[in-house]
Amino acid sequence: MRKLPQHTDAVIQLWMNSTSIFRKIDASLGAIHGIGFTEYMVLFHLMKAPNKTQRRIDLADSIGRTASGVTRMLTPMEKIGLVKKENNPRDARVSLVKITTAGEEIFRDASTTLNEKSKHLLRRIDSSGINDLLNIFNSINEE
């Protein structure tokens, strides 16, 4: 196989490394808190939302999933009491999701675990390097 163009190689390496990182984070969050990183991101976005409530479609956009994918993911989260469905008083066709008190507690505990795991995963990068990395990611997302 011939050598890949530099930009293509960079995108492939980004994907490979992010997959490895998320696998490690999933394992830590799952073993300790019973949720994966995607579920954590659902709770993260609900915690930031006004009234800790978000439309399903907006939640799907926030975490980069389809609306049906989010619906499938929310069902077990609802069964274990992390989130609950709410009716939209303005539009019965719109489904709302709200984080529960138990979900808030899991989120806070999982945030501590995520912070520690993140420190470990990025331990070889100093503060300046992390800032550079964040700037790179922000510049990619400006499109």
- 99-127 pLDDT, tens digit per residue, is 999 999 999 999 999 999 999 999 999 99
pTM of structure: 0.88
Question: Does the pLDDT of residue 92 top 70, yes or no?
Answer: no
CB 58 within 8 A of CB 15: no
Q: pLDDT tens, 18-72?
A: 999 999 999 999 999 999 999 999 999 999 999 999 999 999 999 999 989 999 9
User: What pLDDT score was predicted for residue 29?
Assistant: 96
Question: Does the pLDDT of residue 142 top 80, yes or no?
Answer: no
- The rounded distance, in Å, linking the Cα atoms of 56 and 60 is 6
Question: Does the pLDDT of residue 95 top 90, yes or no?
Answer: no
Rg (C-alpha) for the chain, rounded Å, is 18
Q: Which residues contact 114 (CB under 8 A, 6 or more apart)?
A: 25, 28, 29, 40
- The rounded distance, in Å, linking the Cα atoms of 94 and 109 is 31
- The rounded distance, in Å, linking the Cα atoms of 88 and 121 is 41
Q: What are phi and psi of 4, to 5 degrees?
A: -75, 150
